[in-house]
Amino acid sequence: MANRSAQIVRTSIVGIVANIALAAFKAVVGMLSSSIAIVLDAVNNLSDALSSVITIVGTKLAAKAPDREHPYGHGRAEYLTTIVIAVIVLGAGISSIKESIERIIHPEQSSYEPVMLVIIAVAVLAKIALGRYFKARGTALGSDTLVASGEDATMDALVSTATLVAALVNKLTGLGLEAYLGVGIAILIIKTGVEILQEALGKIIGRRIDSETALAIKETVCSIEGVRGAYDLVLTDYGPERSMGSIHVEVDESLTAKEIDRMTRRIQHAVLSKNHVAIHTVGIYSVNTDTTADDDTAKISNELDKIVSGEPFVLQTHGLYVDEAAKTVLFDIIVSYDALDRGAVLARVANTLKESFPGYKFTMTLDEDISD
Ligand SMILES: [Zn+2]
């Protein structure tokens, strides 16, 4: 963990140094050529250096060890700094669109000095390199904040490229394109800002575990001896490096507490080492082991399969346990969020079962469709 945050800080320092160097370069050339536009552009580079400072602050906060008040760690601080950078990107997009529209309404002939075009070209190359570097490091380190800074730098390069293209077109044909190009790019910047914001907000609100991760964890769990099936995986994201959760497993009804204890610990260790997720609780369903084809357990199981295959909104049933002596049946059922009335689906399944097996009492648990 310390290593990851150290690398994010190092990457951000490269960003700060690069932006300050660009700002200094522009400020000097701006003053020598007495161009206010170039000096103002230098100020923009300083604000980009600020987004790297924000990344460092967020990473430092997030890397703080758990304490009594924050036992889940501080990892979500990174999602907050990503939101701050998304707001900076959105702000840039909104001010670009405002400026461009003003230029369309009140066109003014801009004159580009050759020295200015050279500086813009240098800035474009520097920003493209910085954007690629941030995105590559951010992806490798799992840092959305760095990736967002990379998007920000790429957008800056795009704006400058548009200025450059517009200036060249203007020089060659006399057409004033800058404002129209500006509107297009501003829309692109706003779109990028919204996407970064959605990603970070989604993580704070709590999103569905991606299918790949869920299936990989279930595969690890099912590889442990004694596990007959894994269900109801719940994961809570407390930051890029801290996920914790619970899972339910089916086991033979004949297993002893001692055997279940061993199995549970093996599950926790396996998931932590293979999938880097802390499973805090393993729930247990016992499944019938000594059944023959013509006893009630097999019949109820078959009937349940039949009913479920006729109900498009029922995604899964699990944890079926039939107690023939006590005449009780337990199972869990997952009904899709697409069903308008999940309770009605549940009632329909219950009624069909009761009609087929009037002597039995059915206890069903409606599970949430949390993971694949
Ligand atoms: Zn369940």
pLDDT digits (tens, 9 = 90+) for 294-313: 788 999 999 999 988 888 89
pLDDT of residue 233: 95
pLDDT for residue 336: 92
What angle is formed at CA 264 by the lines to CA 256 and CA 319, rounded to 5 degrees? 75
Checking if the pLDDT of 2 tops 70, the result is: no
For CATH 1.20.1510.10, list the domain ranges present in the chain.
2-205
Q: State the distance from the centre of ligand 1 to the C-alpha of 367, rounded, in angstroms.
A: 6
Average of pLDDT values for 351-365? 91
Please provide the DSSP assignment of 196-207 as one string.
Answer: HHHHHHHHHH--
Q: How far is the CA of 332 from the centre of ligand 1 (A)?
A: 5
Q: What is the pLDDT of residues 309-352, one digit of tens each?
A: 888 899 999 999 999 889 999 999 999 999 888 889 999 999 99
List, for residues 281-291, the tens digit of each pLDDT value: 999 999 998 77
Give the residue range(s) of CATH 3.30.70.1350 domains in the chain. 211-367
232 CA → ligand 1 middle, Å: 5
- C-alpha 202 – ligand 1 centre gap (Å): 25
* Distance (Å) from CA 70 to ligand 1 centroid: 30
CA of 11 to the centre of ligand 1 (A): 44
Burial class (CB in 10 A: 0-12, 13-18, 19+), 225: exposed
The pLDDT of residue 35 is: 65
Taking residues 202-216, what's their average pLDDT? 89
- pLDDT for the residue numbered 120: 82
pLDDT of residue 95: 85
Q: 336 CA distance to ligand 1 centroid (A)?
A: 14
Token pair for 60: 């430092």
Report how far ligand 1's centroid is from the alpha carbon of 249 (Å).
9
For the chain, give the mean pLDDT. 88
Residue 245 Cα, ligand 1 centroid: separation in angstroms? Answer: 14
Is residue 80 within 8 A of residue 58, CB to CB? The reply is yes
| Residue at token pair 């349940």 | 304
CB atoms within 10 A of CB 292: 7
Smallest CA-to-CA distance from 79 within 207, 222, 185, 183 is with: 207
| pLDDT value of residue 114 | 79
Separation of CA 351 and ligand 1 centre (Å)? 20
Q: Mapping DSSP to helix (H, G, I), strand (E, B) and coil, where does residue 112 land?
A: coil
| pLDDT value, residue 37 | 64
- Give the per-residue pLDDT at 173: 83
State the sign of the Cα–Cα–Cα–Cα dihedral 110, 115, 119, 125. Answer: positive
What is the pLDDT, as a whole number, of residue 111? 64
Phi, psi of 71 (to 5 degrees): -65, -15
CA distances (Å), origin 45, targets 26, 32, 127, 192: 9, 18, 10, 19
Query: What confidence tens digit (pLDDT) does each residue in 74-96 have?
Result: 989 989 988 998 898 898 888 88
User: What's the confidence (pLDDT) of residue 360?
Assistant: 92
How many angstroms is it from 321 CA to the middle of ligand 1?
12
Give the Å distances, CA to CA, from 102 to 97, 99, 121, 207, 264: 9, 5, 25, 40, 65
Instruction: Tell the CATH superfamily of the 2-205 domain.
Output: Cation efflux protein transmembrane domain (1.20.1510.10)
What pLDDT does residue 44 have? Answer: 72
Q: Kindly tell me if the per-residue pLDDT of 116 is higher than 80.
A: no
Predicted pLDDT at 258: 96
Element (H, E) at 232: strand 229-237
Give the Cα separation of 4 and 218 in Å (integer).
27
Residue 40's SS3 state is: helix
* pLDDT for the residue 119: 81
Residue 255 predicted with pLDDT over 90 = yes
Write the DSSP symbol of residue 315: E
Residue 372 CA to ligand 1 center (angstroms) comes to 13
Determine the distance separating the centroid of ligand 1 and the alpha carbon of 207, expressed in angstroms: 19
∠ Cα 186 187 192 (to 5°): 95
Range 209-213 average pLDDT: 89
- What's the CA-to-centroid distance between 284 and ligand 1, angstroms? 9
CA of 230 to the centre of ligand 1 (A): 9
Say how many Å lie between the CA of residue 292 and the centre of ligand 1.
Answer: 25
Share of the chain above pLDDT 90, in %: 41
Cα of 231 vs centre of ligand 1, distance in Å, is: 6
pLDDT tens digits along 5-56: 889 999 999 999 999 998 888 888 777 776 666 676 777 777 788 888 988 9
CA distance linking residue 146 with residue 345, whole number of Å? 46
| Cα gap 237→246, rounded to integer Å | 12
Where are the alpha helices (H) located in the chain, listed in sequence order? 2-32, 36-63, 77-105, 114-141, 144-173, 178-205, 211-222, 257-275, 296-309, 342-356
Parallel/antiparallel/unpaired status of strands 243-252 and 278-287: parallel
What is the 225 CA–ligand 1 centroid distance (Å)?
20
Q: What's the gap in Å between 252 CA and the centre of ligand 1?
A: 16
Mean pLDDT value across residues 146-163: 86
Residue range 260-269, pLDDT digits in tens: 999 999 999 9
Q: What is the pLDDT of residue 36?
A: 66
Q: Is the dihedral of CA 125, 129, 132, 138 positive or negative?
A: negative
Say which residues have a Cβ less than 8 Å from residue 364's Cβ, sequence separation at least 6: 330, 331, 332, 333, 346, 349, 350
Question: 211-367 has which CATH code?
Answer: 3.30.70.1350
Q: What is the mean pLDDT of residues 107-127?
A: 79
Q: Would you place residue 110 in the very low, low, confident or very high pLDDT band (cuts 50, 70, 90)?
A: low
Nearest to 357 by CA among 287, 318, 307: 307
- Give the C-alpha separation, 151 to 97, whole Å: 18
Residue 112 confidence (pLDDT): 67
